[in-house]
Structures are given as C-alpha cells and as structure tokens.
Structure 1
Amino acid sequence: MAARRRGPALRFWAAVFLLDLALCKGHVEDLDDSFKENRKDDIWLVDFYAPWCGHCKKLEPIWNEVGLEMKSLGSPVKVGKMDATSYSSIASEFGVRGYPTIKLALIRPLPSQQMFEHMQKRHRVFFVYIGGESPLKEKYIDAASELIVYTYFFSASEEVVPAYVTLKEMPAVLVFKDETYFVYDGKFQHFNCKTAY
C-alpha cells in the first residue's frame, strides 16, 4: 500500500527534476559547423568537449549553471558547447588541444565593409582596432578582457573602415557610438560622422 502512494510522488519529483534540468540546459546552445559563420554577430563563451571525456561530463552541470547565470544577468555573452571530436576543424581554429577547453573570443575580425556596416547598425557602441602587432594592440586586448561583458571589440583593416573615418597614424583604436567616432591615441579626439563627409 505504501509503495502505491510513493509511485505518484516519485514521478512528480522526477518530473520536477527533469524540468529543472531542461531549463538549465536551455541556456547553453549545442553548436555545430554553422557556428563558424554565425558567431560573427555575437560574443560566445564556448566549451569544447569530447563525449568520452570524464572531466567534460563533470563540467556539464556547472556549464549549464553558467549559461543560466549569464542569461539571468542580461549579459550579451552567449554560452555554448561544441563536440570538438565532431567539429575538429573549428576546434583547431580555436586552438583546442585538450578537453574540456573553454574559449571566449574577445576580439572578432570585421573582414568586409558590409560586415562593418552591419555591426554599426546592430551595436550602439563598439570598439575597433586597426593595425598590426603593437603595444597598443596588447593594451586593446587587455581592455577587451576586462570590458567584454559591457561592449563589443573588433579588429579590421584600414580598407574596411568607412570612408568618413580619417586616421592620422596607425595603429589606431576607434570607438563608434551612434553617428560619432573617436580615435584613441592616449587621449580621445572627437569626430562627428555627419560633418565628416
């Protein structure tokens, strides 16, 4: 008789547990080869894992909590996971050498003028580094690592930047906000895009 009463209660708690698990997992996206193209629009924190890896299996519930926490904080950072054994070319591109590996792309490339214009329409404020390796780039990477949860960081070649942008020297860091851009050279110089044409 007591076993009969426990049956519905046990099913109820199992359903609650599975619902809780599903809600947590809902904030971590399973990524595939389309991630390579789709990642350009968003900031991603990605767990590269192997299905057979014991450490990866132990990380999974914690990773689900990370996804839930980022979502609840309203962070622009999306949380995902990718089977690095199935998508080895993407894992290799991110420098994955062991499992699990967690990567956050701080600075994303803007390879074309169309992509630059797309980012300008999509984000109110964003930073762009233009130039090669330099001490300024190292400072830019440091700033990006501290501020990545607040804004967007990109790199681009001089040819990709809109024609109204004038650069006196290279390398340079630009910040775009609304229809204005600023050039960082130790102090900010202000330019209005409307009057720069």
Structure 2
Amino acid sequence: MVSLVKIAFSIIFFAFFASSAASRVIELSDRFLDIHKEGQWLVMMYAPWCAHCKRLEPVWAHVAQYLYSSSVRVGRIDCTRFTNVAHTFKIRGFPTILFLKGDQQFIYDGDRTKDELVKFAMRLSGPTVQEITRTQSFDTIKNDRDLYFLYVGDKIGHLWDIYYKTADKYQQHAFFYQSHQDVVDNHAPVIKVPTIFVYKENLHYNFSINDDNDYDKINDTMQKWINSERFPTFPKVTRGNINQLFLTNKNLVLAVVEENAVEDISQDMIEFRDMVESVIKNKRHKYHDYFQFGWISNTELVNSIAMMEMTKPSLLVINTSTSHHHIPDDEPSKLTPQAIELFLEHIQNDTATRYGGNNVVVRFYRWWFETKMTLASMWKGNPILTMLLFGLPALFLSLIFYGICCPDILDAGDDDEEEEDESNDSSHMKKD
C-alpha cells in the first residue's frame, strides 16, 4: 500500500513538474509584432501538423525552464493561425527557431537539443565580447564552456578591432572573452600581449601573427582561424552541424560507426572511432590545417553523401570545397593509424581516387539514389501504406490515360454497331 502511494505521488510530482516546465513557454499571437523588439526572445515558429515541431515540444519546454531566470524570454507561435507573423519573419519551413534582440534577427540551424539551444541563446544574449575581470571566473568558465576564444590585452589596436569584428560575425557559434595578463594568470600561457587563444579539450591553442602591421592579412587570417577553431577536434557530425563544418573548406575525415536506438555504440565501433581520433590527437600539427576530423552515425546522411550503402565501421573523407569524397581501398578491419595517415597524404597530394562531385550527372544520380533509398525505407517501415500512397495515384493516372487513349476504340465500336443496324434496316426494306 505504501509503495502504491509512493508511485502515485511520484507520478503526480513528475506531471506537475512537466506542466510547470511547459508553462514557461509563452504562447504568442499577432501582438508579438508590436513587442518583438523589446528585450530578447527565443521563439519557435511552428505548425500543429508538423511532426518535427511535435518532437521539439518537450525539448522546447526544458529550454524555457532553463532560461526562465535569464533575460531571454522563450515563446512559440502557431503560424497557421497567425499568418501575419509568418509573413513578417519570412518563415519558409517548420519549425523555424529565431533569436531576436532589437533589430537583430538570428536563425538557428544547429542540432535541436536542449544543450545546443541553450548555448545558442546564451551566446547571443550577452555582449559580443565579454570582459573577464576576476581570475576566479576562469574556473567557472572552463566548467561551463567546453570551447571559447580569449583575447588578452587592452582594447586598442588592429588586433583588438579585428577580433571584435570577427566575434560579432561568429557570436552565435562561439563564446568570446577579453581579459588582461594579470587576470589570466596561470589559466593561459601568455608570453606577450596582445594575444589570442582558443580553449578546447582542456588545452589552449594560440593564434599566430606573422605581420602585425598588415591589417588585411591579419583580418583574413583571423577569420579563417576562428572559423576553423570554433569546432571541437573530433565532434559528432549530424545534420545540424555538417553544413557549418563544410564552411571550414577543409577535408572532412569521418569515422562512420553505428548507434542503436538509445545511442549506444558497440565495442568494435568504439575502438575504430578511437583509432581515427588518435590520428588527429597525436598529429594535430600535421593535419589540423588541412583536415577536420569527426565521427558520424547517421546512416541516411552518410549513404546520401557517398551515394552507396556504407559498411560500418568505415572511413569517409569529404572535400568540402568540391563535394568529392574519398574511400580507402583497405578493408576497415585492416585500417591502422599508419594506413590512415598514408591515405590522408594521398588526398593531400591529389593522388587518391575521387568519387562524386557536383556536376549535373552526379546531382541527378544523387537525386535518384536518395529517392530509391527513401522509397526502400518507406516500404520497409510500412509496405501497406507505401502501396496506398503510390498505388492509388498510379491507378488513378492509369484510368486517366486509358480514358484519353481509348475513346477512338469505343467510338469505333459504336460506329460499327450503327452500320450494322443500317444494313439490317436496308435488308428488311428490300424484303418488304
């Protein structure tokens, strides 16, 4: 009896918590157009019939709960009811996630997880570059931020101007800070000021400057450096971040593995993934400027890129500039760090076999392959529904074509019957 009471209490508690979390989301209407420039807003534009929107709802409730005590207000708008809002913000698909502050508008295109959405909001809610004035703050920042950029020095000079401008461009993708050498203390290896670091994987990597006086060169170099370093050394690649990874213009080295429904990976897959990761971790100085490493478990995405059904585990290297891809000739089970390094050297020397690309023939083949895989997936998931979806339209079109093509035959049959009737009538008249 006591256990039943406890279970009932737990159910009531979790139901109340879920209801409380959901209530943090503000239901908005057309009036939002009058107030959207007041304060900071993280808004989901949705449609009730959208399956992706429904999957996002519980995540959105947790985001609202987490940001409730911050300056960011979290809301959502039914664009099928309030079409003026959808028209004003030029909404083309659902769900569309926007961060609004004043006249600025940012569209979120990353993974729809609570952590990533919260980071997106927190980055944009603060100043472009946040100043750190206390040494103790670095401990907190390192615990909260797995990756951030740090400028050490006074807010003057070419380097600071370029850093601030670049931070403004990439604010939605990374955290940017500024401090002084006496505040940084032992938290970063400062040799001279001004200097810039990126912090990730518990290490600091320095931005090197060859010519302090060439403004254009520093600007171009820093833009490329920050765009490249804003990713972890070995991230998980998904549909949400692969387009951003393509912007690095590096070769994307992917360890292709398989996850189950609860995102668990078998031991042999983990060992393969760790082996690929060891190449960039041990030879970062050699490969980092030319290759971005990562791992991927999205079967549909991998097969779409390779235009074939990839085995798992396997290795796939994508040229993000030309959309070509490379696959090693060796069996995945025979790949070693040395074999992978040799394979990467062939890619650098442009001697590795290339597949794919972006010409008309390849685009058509890719479309055909994706269509085939989609139909196969639909058939495997629900063959009866697939037959109804494609069988009924095919039957309807067949009837239309039949009706278009066969009237002559029907008319011919009618004419023959009329001629036969006339001949019979004439024969009767003769007999009479």
TM-score computed with the length of structure 2 as normaliser = 0.24
1:143 to 146, 163, 168: 168
Percent identity, aligned pairs only, is 31
Aligned to 2:100: 105
Contact residue 106 and residue 141 of structure 1 kept, 8 A: no
**Which structure shows the higher helix fraction?**
2
Q: What's the Cα RMSD here?
A: 3.5
Aligned to 2:14: 17
Alignment of 1:19-168 (within 5 A): 19-72=16-69, 74=70, 76-108=71-103, 143=168, 146=171
Contact residue 50 and residue 99 of structure 1 kept, 8 A: yes
Rounded to whole Å, the distance in 2 between the matches of 1:140 and 1:89 is 34
Look up the SS of the partner of 1:98 in the other structure: coil
Contact residue 107 and residue 144 of structure 1 kept, 8 A: no
Flag structure 2 segments of 5+ consecutive residues without an equivalent. 105-126, 129-163, 173-432
Q: Measured at CA, do residues 107 and 50 of structure 1 come closer, stay the same or move farther in structure 2, by a change above 3 Å? A: same
Q: Measured at CA, do residues 12 and 25 of structure 1 come closer, stay the same or move farther in structure 2, by a change above 3 Å? A: same
Rounded to whole Å, the distance in 1 between the matches of 2:3 and 2:168 is 60
Rounded to whole Å, the distance in 2 between the matches of 1:20 and 1:108 is 35
Look up the SS of the partner of 1:105 in the other structure: strand
Aligned to 2:311: none
Flag structure 1 segments of 5+ consecutive residues without an equivalent. 110-125, 128-138, 148-197
Look up the SS of the partner of 1:46 in the other structure: strand
Rounded to whole Å, the distance in 1 between the matches of 2:171 and 2:10 is 42
For residues 79-123 of structure 1, what are the alpha-carbon distances to aligned partners after superposition, in whole Å with 9 as ceiling and x for unaligned?
Answer: 1011111111101211211111101124428xxxxxxxxxxxxxx
For residues 127-172 of structure 1, what are the alpha-carbon distances to aligned partners after superposition, in whole Å with 9 as ceiling and x for unaligned?
Answer: 9xxxxxxxxxxx979728628xxxxxxxxxxxxxxxxxxxxxxxxx
Rounded to whole Å, the distance in 1 between the matches of 2:165 and 2:80 is 33
Aligned to 2:288: none
Question: In the TM superposition, what is the alpha-carbon distance from 1:70 to its structure 2 partner?
Answer: 1.5
Q: Measured at CA, do residues 145 and 70 of structure 1 come closer, stay the same or move farther in structure 2, by a change above 3 Å? A: farther
Question: In the TM superposition, what is the alpha-carbon distance from 1:57 to its structure 2 partner?
Answer: 0.6
Q: Could you say which structure has the greater relative contact order, defined with CA pairs below 8 angstroms and 6 or more residues apart?
A: 1
Question: In the TM superposition, what is the alpha-carbon distance from 1:11 to its structure 2 partner?
Answer: 3.4
Rounded to whole Å, the distance in 2 between the matches of 1:91 and 1:140 is 31
Q: Measured at CA, do residues 140 and 80 of structure 1 come closer, stay the same or move farther in structure 2, by a change above 3 Å? A: farther
Question: In the TM superposition, what is the alpha-carbon distance from 1:77 to its structure 2 partner?
Answer: 1.6
Question: In the TM superposition, what is the alpha-carbon distance from 1:13 to its structure 2 partner?
Answer: 2.6
For residues 33-53 of structure 1, what are the alpha-carbon distances to aligned partners after superposition, in whole Å with 9 as ceiling and x for unaligned?
Answer: 111112221211100111111
TM-score computed with the length of structure 1 as normaliser = 0.50
Contact residue 38 and residue 102 of structure 2 kept, 8 A: no
Rounded to whole Å, the distance in 1 between the matches of 2:63 and 2:42 is 10
Contact residue 47 and residue 103 of structure 1 kept, 8 A: yes
**Which structure shows the higher strand fraction?**
1
Q: Which has the larger radius of gyration?
A: 2
Contact residue 106 and residue 145 of structure 1 kept, 8 A: no
Q: Measured at CA, do residues 107 and 86 of structure 1 come closer, stay the same or move farther in structure 2, by a change above 3 Å? A: same
Contact residue 43 and residue 77 of structure 2 kept, 8 A: yes
Aligned to 1:154: none
Which amino acid in structure 1 is aligned with residue 57 of structure 2?
E
Look up the SS of the partner of 2:75 in the other structure: strand
